[in-house]
Amino acid sequence: MSHGAAEAPLKRPRDEIVTVLVRVLGPSIGGSMVRASANGHWEKLGLGPVATDDECRGLLAALGPGLNVFVGRKRGEALMAEVITELRRSDSAS
């Protein structure tokens, strides 16, 4: 999730990040599984109500291995890239 000069760093509230994760990953592994995993990792990482770019990277990195178990590494990476795109899109719409 690198960002260049043209991309602003992510800074999103928890509910928005979880909503994007459920929308993108839910069709592959189920919305309840995504929500539970995201919230569990959020707590384990000790994140506050709003995640910075680095915190969001950490959350996605924590979710990646579990996602890969269900969909495979290649599909997992594609889905995470889609999550990043969606988060950036919602960030620029703010």
CB-based contact 94:72 (threshold 8 Å): no
Residues in Cβ contact with 39 at an 8 Å cutoff, skipping those fewer than 6 apart: 18
pLDDT classification of 94: cutoffs 50, 70, 90: low
Q: Which secondary structure element, helix H or strand E, spans residue 13, and what is its range?
A: strand 11-13
CA distance 31 to 50: 21
8-41 pLDDT, tens digit per residue, is 566 889 999 999 999 999 999 999 999 999 999 9
40-53 pLDDT, tens digit per residue, is 999 999 999 999 98
76-93 pLDDT, tens digit per residue, is 999 999 999 999 887 655
For residue 29 the two structure tokens come to 């592994």
